Amino acid sequence: MNVENYLMYGVMPIICLALFFIMMRFFKGPQIVDRVVALDLLITIGVGFIALFSLITDNPVFLDVAMILALIAFLSTVAFSYYISKIKKK
């Protein structure tokens, strides 16, 4: 069994199952903080999916897209944390 088959039939279904559970938390989350954490995790799983697709297709161009998406996710999480800390102080 080569690596592409392992990635395609082993890792990809696990990522899809994780996406399903994270989407449930995103829609069901009782507070906005739960939804933001779920959204951040969705973006992180998306970065992993893009990296996996890059490995399967042997095309490293997609890794640039994954890196940019990861940076945007990080900055949005930091911005939301800053916003929440300002609200809590008031």
What residues contact residue 41 under an 8 Å CB cut-off, 6+ apart? 22
Q: Total domain count for the chain?
A: 1
Four-residue CA torsion sign, 85, 24, 27, 39: positive
Average pLDDT, the chain: 89
What residues contact residue 61 under an 8 Å CB cut-off, 6+ apart? 54
Which pLDDT tens digit goes with each residue over 6-33? Answer: 888 888 899 999 999 999 999 998 888 8
| pLDDT of res. 25 | 92
The predicted model scores a pTM of 0.81
Scored b (16 or more CB within 10 A) or e, 51-88 reads bbbbbbeeeeebeeebeeebeebeeebeebeeeeeeee
Which pLDDT tens digit goes with each residue over 39-54? Answer: 999 999 999 999 999 9
The range of the structural domain enclosing residue 42 comes to 3-89
